[in-house]
Amino acid sequence: MRVGVITFPGSLDERDAQRAVRLAGGTPVALWHGAHDLEGVEAIILPGGFSYGDYLRAGSIASHAPIMAEVIDAAHKGMPVLGICNGFQMLAEARLVPGAHGRNDCGTFVRRDQKLIVENNTTAWTKDFTQGEEIIIPLKNADGRFVADADTIKRIEDNGQVTFRYVGMNPNGSLDDIAGVSNEAGNVVGLMPHPEHAVEPGFGPDTAQAMRSGLDGLKFFTSVIQSTLLAKA
């Protein structure tokens, strides 16, 4: 399965995302923000980083990049799209997922191995998790505070569009401890923490068993490959 990873000016984690796709059994395809071509991919990842230096608002300028026209069109037609950190901010700015992001309430950049609960395991990117599963994946951001008006929060809570919630502590002041959300259809998911940094022994978060052995991020990528295979079958 071909999974596109789009590089924007200022993207940082596109190669980690490509590697995660490969480790999950997929074929990563490097896509370029300035092209109008998805090169026949079956899923898309918007990676983390600081596109355009977070100027204007985090993710806002990238959300208007040429390739985003194709991404938005494909997302509306049901193609799985995952936005990680800056990619989540792009999805929100492009109105593909609800809400928006503000500066962390603590005022500083936060980097930690973060515990999350999987609140919805029916999305294209979460099918390999069990409902309510607790996972640990790295978080690193400055503008991670998820914000939406009260009506939107109620709607996404009622619809099961809150995909992940922070557990134990809320690192950035996000409303309702929301760490990730999906669109109504569940093919588009955005989250602040970085699953692509927890896919390979020796490079993931610490676990009780061994240092840097956490692989909880891998299931994001195996989920999308599985769900696409199932859709074809």
155 binds other proteins (CB under 8 A): no
**196 catalytic, yes or no?**
yes
Check 93, 119, 196, 200 and give the catalytic one.
Answer: 196
Rounded Cα distance between 174 and 176, Å, is: 6
3-state secondary structure of 50: coil
For residues 47 and 215, what is the distance between their CA atoms, to the nearest angstrom? 18
Give the shortest CB-143-to-other proteins separation in angstroms.
10
Q: How far apart are CA 185 and CA 204, in angstroms?
A: 30
Dig out the tokens for 11 from the structure.
Answer: 């993207």
Q: Which residue, 21 or 58, has its beta carbon nearer to other proteins?
A: 58
Are 183 and 103 contacting, i.e. CB atoms less than 8 angstroms apart?
Answer: no
Q: How far is the CB of 172 from other proteins (least distance, A)?
A: 10
How many Å apart are CA 112 and CA 137, to the nearest integer?
A: 9
Per-residue contact string for residues 67-106; x = within reach of other proteins by CB under 8 A: -------------------------xx-----xxxxxxxx
Residues annotated as catalytic are: 85, 194, 196
Site residues (CB under 8 A) for other proteins? 56-57, 60, 64, 92-93, 99-107, 145, 147-149, 173
